[in-house]
Amino acid sequence: MPELDAILSRLVSAGVECVLIGGYAAITHGASYVTQDVDVCAPLDFENLQRIAKALEGTNPRHRDHVREIPFELERHRGGLKNLYLMTDLGPVDFLGTIPGIGDYAYAKSHSLNARLESGSILVLDRPTLIRAKEHAGRPRDLLVVGQLRAIEEALSKDKPLP
């Protein structure tokens, strides 16, 4: 996961407005989960897209889920986006304007905590909201993480050590 750490560091260093969600957020909360990408909720207006472009400079960012690779070109997105799914030389990163079943960036930000990274701090979706997001996604791997996050939540609420 060093490459994924590098993506996060780049986002923090470039001042990208975002909240860490998904598998990486679950790991931040103590889940034993392996993730292959970085998922963040972010405003996808032109100003934040400029910061995203700066953060990913030199990583060959290109749109994912297309028949052919299309380079990420900032000027194409001057009007903003709903979601942005990119592959970089460091790995995949997904920028969601809205978390399905949860809400938009403003909601995610109001339900987040600060997490410290070597390069600075980043907002991370809080455990209860992350649990709801994972439940809404409903995929088997998400539901496994929900079980872990609930156990962590219960252990912390009882102020007992984790197993």
pLDDT of residue 158: 77
Q: Would 110 be classed as within a structural domain?
A: yes
The three-point CA angle 58-64-70 to 5° equals 65
86 closest CA partner among 99, 73, 95: 95
Query: Comparing 70-74, 87-91, 158-162, which segment has the lowest mean pLDDT?
Result: 158-162
Residue 13 lies in a domain: yes
Question: Would 51 be classed as within a structural domain?
Answer: yes
Structure token pair of residue 77: 């997105």
Confidence tier at 160 by pLDDT (50, 70, 90): low
- What are the tens digits of pLDDT across the range 130-145? 999 999 999 999 999 9
CATH of residue 92's domain is 3.30.460
Structure tokens at 89: 């030389």
17 touches 131 (CB < 8 A)? no
Domain annotation covers residue 150: no
In a domain, 96, yes or no: yes
Confidence label for 61 from pLDDT (cuts 50, 70 and 90): very high
Reported pTM: 0.87
pLDDT one-digit tens code per residue, 21-49 = 999 999 999 999 888 899 999 999 999 99
Give the pLDDT confidence score for residue 77 in this predicted structure: 58
Range of the domain at 52: 2-126
